[in-house]
Structure 1
């Protein structure tokens, strides 16, 4: 049997409000602990009651270290925008190169026959032409190697006959 829905509004009765706060606080702390254990997540939870009492949970080494980490992550983007122009330029260059790498990796997957269902007719035609050209290049290179090997073998046969007749 499921539980009924509770209308989310402030509980007017002070005693009922305190009981609900206590139960829900304990449930929230339990969930934070379970999340940290099950998912190996670093969890920090800070709760202030309406009376100003502090309740906290931290799965990491200390609350202050977790808060420092949080500040570095959340305020890092704001600080980055205020950095010197060289750093911003380098970051923009990084983003461009990352985009190129993503495009090249996508092309590589297409050349390997992966993720083709996403392509339209024009893209598939272009890919087919590129693959045909690549196949011709491979065959030409293979033929050249085979001819070079044949020439080497013919020279060995000639030198073998020369040594044998001496």
Structure 2
């Protein structure tokens, strides 16, 4: 049976909250002891309950751990007060970078058609040539993209035609199979019926002499 997961939020019931605080505080101190023993770490824990009661744990001495942290914090503050060499920029370099930023920003605005009042004919012509060269590169990139799209559409169209042909062939084969199946089920038997007629030989008419029985005596004439 799995253990029900407890929702992490403040426990409203005062008694239940105190019981939970006591259990979890002991578990926290136990974990701190295990971490200090296994890893040799210096640990100091200070816990205040909701009623203001103090609980603390230290792996060696609370005062010693606090002093160690205090000394390290002072060294960190000293390092923060001293600017790093990586960020030390002299005034000349700062001025040069600032002027370059202003120049680049001004050039971008001129390329967008702004701040052109102070430019002479030669500068305007140079700017026009620069814009024309950029426009040609943009048009070339657009044409290349169009060609790629057209090629992709042609390949897709050829694939669709091929798929359509295969589908038609499949439908034709399916129709032929259905016709054959229907003929087999509904067709008549192909065995011929032979009428055998057995008849008696026709009566043979023999040319018998006509004989007659004559009664009485024959009288001479």
Shorter-chain TM-score tier: 0.3 to 0.5
Instruction: Calculate the TM-score normalised by the size of structure 1.
Output: 0.47
Structure with more helix by fraction: 1
Q: TM-score normalised to the size of structure 2?
A: 0.36
Higher relative contact order (CA 8 A, sep 6+): 1
